[in-house]
């Protein structure tokens, strides 16, 4: 208990020192990465790549990536990295060879922007200006219109019932053909359930049932909704993949008009874990955005005085656990894994002690150089992997003011401080060595076999820059690390692909698209041996590719493996 109290007091004291100084690191001389956020042309027809080294012949399938690829429309420029028009990428791997193609998503906003040669649909950080062709009175009235949702799905590829979609965080997704990258249809979540959006990071059970989260806004305030999509289509004649989707639980926001922002959530075998964090969304500012000329970005803010709350929802019954698990103020965008063991739910996440980074990724910031670039980086809090251990059997007999975490291999704490309130502190899933690499984000695991189960390895990007500049393999046994790094190269999110004859957790390869902002047309697909982290080969692409967000690898073999892991 004394250690926990000391930990909290030190954190509170240091928190104020950090905010007064406003800097988390003291890095100097960061190289300019301006071309990472430059517009490119699409490559709709497959082109060959140049192979260096060896691409294992057992790798057969499509590595699909998503991210922004167009940052200007006519004379208008987008303000935020998240605003760029979605560009879909495919690396087709077969028989040791790789081809590449890309297409802009045929979204309504992309079509409308191109038709009018200006930005006509507002995005996260960019407000569309009134049509200059309208008269003054029409332009004035247009500022009182409710802002519409963008369908610029530039975050990730997701699957529901075997169909591929690209997604962002609004109520719109697009079904796409993973072979041609053609946009097939626009899908609105609101046609199936009463939500105003859904995350781009659903979780899937081995039987194919998929879970997601989405907000809804009612006269009673904001709610966080747990969504379940069944594994199969209800009828072969139905084209609607989301048919049968249901809201299994609705959680009222602690603040009715200022819900928390969340990018993803955690899932174990029996529970969904929703993390209500102190990154808040001012709904009034969003509603009045057109009138004030402010974007959604300006409505998102960090409140360090609030605590973080973990909500547990039973996946089968939809019941919300009456016990709430609290932690100090922190932000998290991506979770690593979660599982249940010996009466505990163990949850590993990537988290930071500050939540202001989302508003730092303005395009003008990413294009800075010299001291101005260093300043942007140094004012951003680093993200590190952490573990929380939540006791599942808290009842009237559970003692107060003592650590309920009895796992001998864990230094995390869970202390009951009120009837239905447990305060938790984390344990670090890393050694001091990770600080040299700027922390870790974009975590990935051997999802097909180890999601919701105890595991040993995870992979991610080190962040010694505004984007990933290293690839890291973390071994939870001893917190040992393996690192791939080359100066001037910026790898994207690592995706693990298991080998067909895998017997161990890390039998397979890591795929990552590596961006080279200081060298023209030299982006490449990198293949690492996941066990040794040695480079096996690379496929060099003779076109420029911007730094993207998330991707996935699909093959019929992997689908079979995932199903059998049930």
17 assigned to some structural domain? no
Confidence band (pLDDT; 50, 70, 90) for 238? low
Segment 401-438, tens digit of pLDDT: 999 999 999 999 999 999 999 999 999 999 999 999 99
State the pLDDT at residue 237: 56
- Quick check: 482 pLDDT over 70? yes
State the pLDDT at residue 435: 97
21 assigned to some structural domain? no
- Quick check: 367 pLDDT over 60? yes
The boundaries of the domain holding residue 232 are: 34-565
- Matching residue, tokens 């003592």: 402
State the pLDDT at residue 428: 98
Do residues 276 and 308 lie in contact, with contact meaning Cβ atoms separated by under 8 Å? yes
123 assigned to some structural domain? yes
- What mean pLDDT comes out for the span 386-399? 96
- What mean pLDDT comes out for the span 163-191? 96
305 assigned to some structural domain? yes
Lowest mean pLDDT among 17-26, 29-38, 208-217, 297-306: 17-26
- Matching residue, tokens 């081809």: 99
499 CB contacts (<8 Å, ≥6 apart)? 56, 58, 507, 508, 509
- What mean pLDDT comes out for the span 292-316? 95
- Quick check: 300 pLDDT over 70? yes
State the pLDDT at residue 280: 97
Q: Mapped to the 3 state alphabet, what secondary structure does 55-102 carry? A: CCCCCCEEEEEEEEEECEECCEECCEHHHCEEEEEEEEEECCEEEEEE
371 assigned to some structural domain? yes
Strand 508-515 and strand 490-491: pairing? antiparallel
DSSP string, 108-171: HHHHHHHHHTS--S--SS-PPPPPTTS-HHHHHHHTTSPPPPP----SEEEEETTEEEEE-SSS
Is residue 263 marked as binding?
Answer: yes
State the pLDDT at residue 129: 74
226 assigned to some structural domain? yes
- What mean pLDDT comes out for the span 191-197? 95
In whole angstroms, give the CA distance from residue 217 to residue 283: 9
Rg of the chain in Å (alpha carbons): 23
- Quick check: 170 pLDDT over 90? yes
Confidence band (pLDDT; 50, 70, 90) for 236? low
Here the tokens at position 118 are 């200006």
Q: Mapped to the 3 state alphabet, what secondary structure does 438-453 carry? A: CEEEEEECCHHHHCCC
- Which residues, listed in sequence order, are joined to residue 274 by a DSSP beta bridge? 311
- Quick check: 65 pLDDT over 90? yes
Helix (H, G, I), strand (E, B) or coil at 304: coil
In terms of Cβ atoms closer than 10 Å to its own Cβ (0-12, 13-18, 19+), residue 181 is buried
Is residue 311 marked as binding?
Answer: no
- Domains in the chain, number: 1
State the pLDDT at residue 130: 60
Quickly list H helices, 416-536: 447-450
227 assigned to some structural domain? yes
Confidence band (pLDDT; 50, 70, 90) for 555? confident
Of residues 19 and 197, more confidence is placed in 197
Segment 332-350, tens digit of pLDDT: 999 999 999 999 999 999 9
Instruction: Tell me the backbone φ, ψ of residue 390, rounded to 5 degrees.
Output: -105, 115
Strand 203-204 and strand 72-73: pairing? unpaired
Segment 131-153, tens digit of pLDDT: 555 544 444 444 444 457 899 99
- What mean pLDDT comes out for the span 10-38? 72
2 assigned to some structural domain? no
């Amino acid at each position: 208990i004394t250690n926990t109290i000391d930990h909290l007091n030190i954190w509170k004291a240091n928190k104020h020192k950090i905010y007064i100084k406003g800097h988390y690191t003291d890095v100097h001389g960061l190289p300019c990465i301006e071309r990472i956020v430059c517009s490119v042309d699409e490559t709709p027809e497959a082109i060959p790549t140049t192979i260096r080294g060896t691409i294992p012949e057992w790798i057969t399938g499509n590595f699909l990536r998503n991210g922004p690829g167009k940052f200007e429309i006519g004379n208008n420029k987008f303000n935020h990295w998240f605003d760029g028009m979605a560009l879909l990428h495919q690396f087709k791997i077969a028989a040791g060879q790789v081809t590449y193609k890309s297409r802009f998503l045929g979204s309504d906003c992309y079509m409308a922007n191109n038709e009018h040669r200006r930005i006509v649909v507002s995005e996260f950080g960019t407000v569309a200006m009134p049509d200059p062709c309208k008269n003054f009175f029409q332009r004035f009235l247009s500022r009182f219109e409710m802002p519409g949702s963008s369908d610029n799905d530039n975050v990730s590829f997701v699957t529901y019932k075997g169909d591929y979609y690209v997604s962002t965080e609004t109520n719109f997704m697009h079904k796409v053909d993973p072979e041609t990258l053609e946009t097939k249809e626009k899908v609105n979540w609101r046609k199936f359930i009463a939500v105003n959006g859904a995350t781009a990071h659903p979780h899937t059970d081995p039987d194919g049932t998929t879970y997601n989260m989405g907000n809804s806004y009612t006269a009673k305030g904001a709610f966080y909704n747990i969504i379940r999509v069944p594994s199969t289509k209800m009828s072969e004649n139905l084209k609607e993949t989301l048919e049968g989707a249901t809201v299994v639980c609705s959680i009222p926001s602690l603040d009715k008009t200022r819900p928390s922002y969340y990018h993803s959530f955690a899932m174990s075998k029996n529970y969904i874990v929703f993390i209500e964090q102190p990154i808040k969304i001012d709904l009034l500012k969003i509603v009045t955005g057109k009138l004030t000329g402010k974007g959604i970005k300006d409505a998102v803010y960090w409140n360090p005085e609030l605590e973080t709350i973990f909500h547990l929802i039973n996946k089968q019954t939809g019941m919300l656990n009456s016990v709430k698990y609290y932690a100090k103020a922190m932000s998290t965008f991506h979770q690593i894994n979660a599982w249940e063991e010996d009466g505990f739910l163990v949850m590993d996440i990537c988290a930071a002690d500050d939540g202001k980074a989302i508003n730092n990724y303005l395009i003008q910031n990413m294009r800075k150089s010299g001291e101005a670039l260093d300043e942007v980086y140094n004012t951003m809090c680093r993200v590190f992997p952490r573990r929380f251990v939540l006791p599942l059997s808290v009842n009237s007999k559970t003692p107060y003011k003592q650590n309920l975490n009895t796992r001998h291999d864990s230094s995390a704490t869970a202390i009951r401080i009120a009837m239905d309130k447990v305060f938790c502190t984390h344990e670090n899933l890393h050694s001091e060595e990770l600080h040299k690499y700027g922390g870790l984000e974009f975590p990935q695991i051997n999802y097909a076999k180890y999601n919701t189960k105890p595991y040993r390895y995870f992979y991610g990007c080190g962040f010694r820059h505004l984007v990933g500049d290293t690839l890291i393999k973390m071994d939870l046994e001893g917190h040992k690390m393996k690192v791939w790094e080359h100066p001037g190269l910026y790898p994207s999110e690592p995706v693990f692909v298991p080998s067909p004859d895998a017997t161990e957790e890390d039998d397979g390869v890591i795929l990552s698209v590596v961006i080279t902002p200081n060298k023209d047309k030299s982006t490449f697909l990198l293949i690492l041996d996941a066990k040794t982290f040695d480079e096996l080969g690379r496929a060099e692409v003779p076109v420029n590719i911007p730094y993207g967000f998330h991707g996935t690898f699909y093959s019929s073999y992997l689908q079979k493996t995932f199903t059998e892991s049930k």
